[in-house]
Chains A and B, each alone.
Chain A
Amino acid sequence: MFRSKALSLLKLIPLMSGQSNLAYKFIHPVIACHGHRCHRSVIYKQWYRTRPHSAGRRTISAGTKVMAQGELPGVLILDIGGTHGVLEDLAALLKKHFHLITMKEFLGNKEEMSKKIQSVFVFECRPTIDRELLESLPNLKVIGNSGVGVDHLDLKMISSFGVKVTNTPNAVADPTADIGMALMLASARRLVEGCQIAVSPDTKYFAVDWLGVEVSRATLGIIGMGSIGYKVAQRARAFNMRILYHNRNRRRKEEEEAVGAHYCAKMEDLLQQSDFVMLVVNLTPETHKLIGRKELGLMKPTATLINISRGAVIDQDALVEALRNKVIRAAALDVTYPEPLPRDHPLLNLNNVIITPHIGTATVQAIHMMAEEAIANILAVLNDQPIPSEVFPK
Chain B
Amino acid sequence: MWYHKPAINEELLQSLPNLKVVASSGVGIDHLDLKLLSSYGVKVANTPFVVSIDTADMGMALLLASSRRLVEGHEMAVSPETEYFPADWLGVEVSGATLGIVGMGVIGYKVAERAKAFEMKILYHNRNQRKKEEESAVGAVYCKKIDYLLQQSDFVLLAVNLTPQTHKLIGKRELELMKPTATLINISRGLVVDQDALVEALQNKVIKAAALDVTYPEPLPRDHPLLKMKNVIITPHIGSATKKTRWVMMEEMVESIQAGLAGLPVPREVL
CB distance from A122 to the nearest CB of B (A): 12
Nearest opposing residue in chain A for B87, CB measure = A124
Q: Mark A138-182, 1 if CB is under 8 A from B, else 0.
A: 000000000000000000000000000000000000110111011
Contacts of B234 in A (CB 8 A): 195, 198-199
CB neighbors of A among B57-83 (8 A): 57-58, 60-62, 64-65, 67-71, 73-74, 76-78, 80, 82-83
Judge whether B91 and A363 touch: CB under 8 Å.
yes
Judge whether A357 and B92 touch: CB under 8 Å.
no
Q: How many residues of A contact B (CB 8 A)?
A: 71
Given contacts A87-B87, A214-B54, A235-B117, contact A208 B3 (CB under 8 A): yes
- Is A31 interfacial (CB 8 A cutoff)? no
- Is A123 interfacial (CB 8 A cutoff)? yes
Judge whether A343 and B85 touch: CB under 8 Å.
no
Judge whether B96 and A185 touch: CB under 8 Å.
no
Judge whether B227 and A199 touch: CB under 8 Å.
yes
Judge whether B69 and A359 touch: CB under 8 Å.
yes
A-B pairs with beta carbons under 8 A, tally? 197
- Is A70 interfacial (CB 8 A cutoff)? no
Stretch at the interface among B27-35, B170-178, B243-251: B243-251
Stretch at the interface among A14-22, A37-45, A348-356, A382-390: A348-356
- Is A92 interfacial (CB 8 A cutoff)? no
Q: Which of B89, B119, B219 contacts A359 (CB 8 A)?
A: B89
Q: Which of B57, B96, B228 contacts A55 (CB 8 A)?
A: B96
Q: Mark A204-246, 1 if CB is under 8 A from B, else 0.
A: 1110101111111100000000000000001111111000000
Contacts of A340 in B (CB 8 A): 77, 82-85
CB neighbors of B among A26-54 (8 A): 53
CB distance from A358 to the nearest CB of B (A): 6
CA A214 to CA B54, docked complex, whole Å: 7
Query: Knowing that A124-B87, A185-B65, A191-B65 are A-B contacts, what are 14 other residue pairs whose CB atoms are under 8 Å apart, sorted by A's residue number?
Result: A55-B96, A83-B84, A174-B96, A181-B118, A189-B57, A195-B234, A199-B234, A203-B219, A210-B236, A212-B241, A214-B242, A239-B57, A340-B77, A348-B77
